[in-house]
Amino acid sequence: MSNPAPSLTSREVRLAARPQGEPRPTDFELAEAEVPEPAEGQVLVRNLVMSVDPYMRGRMNDVKSYAVPYEVDGPMYGGAVGEVVASEDPRVPVGTFVQHELGWRTHSVVPARAAVVVDPEQAPLPSCLGVLGMPGMTAWVGLFDIGAVRPGETVWISAASGAVGSLAGQLAKLAGCRVVGSAGGDDKCRYVVEQLGFDACIDYRQGALEEQLAGAAPDGVDVYFDNVGGDHLEAAISALKVHGRACICGMISAYNATTPPAAPRNLGQVVGKRLRPEGMLVRDHAHLQGEFVREVGQLLADGRLTAQETVVDGIEHAVDAFLGLLSGRNTGKMVVRVG
Amino acid sequence: MSNPAPSLTSREVRLAARPQGEPRPTDFELAEAEVPEPAEGQVLVRNLVMSVDPYMRGRMNDVKSYAVPYEVDGPMYGGAVGEVVASEDPRVPVGTFVQHELGWRTHSVVPARAAVVVDPEQAPLPSCLGVLGMPGMTAWVGLFDIGAVRPGETVWISAASGAVGSLAGQLAKLAGCRVVGSAGGDDKCRYVVEQLGFDACIDYRQGALEEQLAGAAPDGVDVYFDNVGGDHLEAAISALKVHGRACICGMISAYNATTPPAAPRNLGQVVGKRLRPEGMLVRDHAHLQGEFVREVGQLLADGRLTAQETVVDGIEHAVDAFLGLLSGRNTGKMVVRVG
Q: Where are the domains of chain A?
A: 8-130+308-337, 134-283
pLDDT of residue A123: 84
Q: Pick from B181, B156, B146, B123: which is nearest to B240 by CA?
A: B156
Using a CB-CB cut-off of 8 Å, the residues of chain B touching A58 are 272
Residue B89: partners with Cβ closer than 8 Å, 6 or more residues away: B40, B41, B42, B43, B112
Please judge whether A265 and B263 are an interchain contact, meaning their C-beta atoms are less than 8 angstroms apart.
Answer: yes
Mean pLDDT of chain A: 94
pLDDT at A186 over 60: yes
CATH of A8-130+308-337, one of 3.20.20.60, 3.30.1050.10, 3.90.180.10, 3.90.25.10: 3.90.180.10
**Under a CB-based contact definition with an 8 Å cutoff, are residues B115 and B94 in contact?**
no
**Minimum-distance CB partner of A268 among B254, B269, B275:** B254
**What is the rounded CA–CA span in Å between residue B141 and residue B103?**
24
**Minimum-distance CB partner of A281 among B66, B274, B280:** B274
Residue B214 identity (one-letter amino acid): A
ipTM of the complex: 0.88
By the CB < 8 Å criterion, does B260 face chain A?
A: yes
Dmax of chain B from CA atoms?
66
pLDDT of residue A88: 97
Q: What is the Cα Rg of chain A in Å?
A: 21
Q: Pick from A13, A156, A155: which is nearest to A75 by CA?
A: A13
- Give the containing element (helix H, strand E) for B97: strand B97-100
By the CB < 8 Å criterion, does B147 face chain A?
A: no
- Give the containing element (helix H, strand E) for B326: helix B318-326
Q: Pick from A197, A166, A204, A163: which is nearest to A182 by CA?
A: A204
By the CB < 8 Å criterion, does B298 face chain A?
A: no
pLDDT at A334 over 60: yes
Mean pLDDT of A67-73: 91
Using a CB-CB cut-off of 8 Å, the residues of chain A touching B138 are none
Mean pLDDT of A310-334: 95
Please judge whether A278 and B275 are an interchain contact, meaning their C-beta atoms are less than 8 angstroms apart.
Answer: yes
Q: Pick from A328, A329, A309, A337: which is nearest to A158 by CA?
A: A328
Range A212-235 burial, b when 16+ CB lie within 10 A, else e: bbeebbeebbbbbbbbbbbbbbbb
**What is the rounded CA–CA span in Å between residue A231 and residue B238?**
21
Residue A39 C-alpha, separation from nearest chain B C-alpha, in angstroms: 34
pLDDT of residue A3: 53
pLDDT of residue A1: 47
Q: Which fold has domain B134-283?
A: Rossmann fold (3.40.50)
By the CB < 8 Å criterion, does B265 face chain A?
A: yes
> Taken in order B284, B285, B290, B294, is the CA torsion positive or negative?
negative
Residue B267 C-alpha, separation from nearest chain A C-alpha, in angstroms: 7
**What is the rounded CA–CA span in Å between residue B252 and residue B330?**
14
Please judge whether B272 and A65 are an interchain contact, meaning their C-beta atoms are less than 8 angstroms apart.
Answer: yes
Using a CB-CB cut-off of 8 Å, the residues of chain A touching B227 are none
> Taken in order A277, A279, A282, A283, is the CA torsion positive or negative?
negative
Using a CB-CB cut-off of 8 Å, the residues of chain B touching A65 are 272
Using a CB-CB cut-off of 8 Å, the residues of chain A touching B57 are none
**Minimum-distance CB partner of A277 among B251, B269, B277:** B277
**What is the rounded CA–CA span in Å between residue B2 and residue A65?**
70
pLDDT of residue B263: 79
B303: left (phi over 0), alpha (psi -120 to 50) or beta: left
pLDDT at A255 over 90: no
Residue A33: partners with Cβ closer than 8 Å, 6 or more residues away: A9, A10, A11, A12, A75, A105
**Under a CB-based contact definition with an 8 Å cutoff, are residues A183 and A198 in contact?**
no
Please judge whether B271 and A284 are an interchain contact, meaning their C-beta atoms are less than 8 angstroms apart.
Answer: no
Residue B179: partners with Cβ closer than 8 Å, 6 or more residues away: B154, B155, B156, B157, B169, B172, B173, B198, B199
Residues of chain B with pLDDT below 50 are 1, 5
Find the Cα–Cα–Cα–Cα dihedral A240, A241, A245, A249, rounded to 10°.
-10
pLDDT at A205 over 80: yes
Mean pLDDT of A120-144: 94
**Minimum-distance CB partner of A271 among B251, B271, B273:** B251
Query: Which residues 61-120 in chain B show a CB within 8 A of chain A?
Result: 65-66
Please judge whether A251 and B268 are an interchain contact, meaning their C-beta atoms are less than 8 angstroms apart.
Answer: yes
The 10s digit of each residue's pLDDT in B288-325 is 999 999 999 999 999 999 999 999 999 999 999 999 99
**Minimum-distance CB partner of B279 among A229, A248, A270:** A270
Mean pLDDT of A62-88: 92
Q: DSSP alpha helices (H): ranges in chain A?
A: 56-59, 125-129, 134-141, 163-174, 186-194, 209-216, 230-239, 269-272, 289-301, 318-326
Range A38-54 burial, b when 16+ CB lie within 10 A, else e: beeebbbbbbbbbbbbb
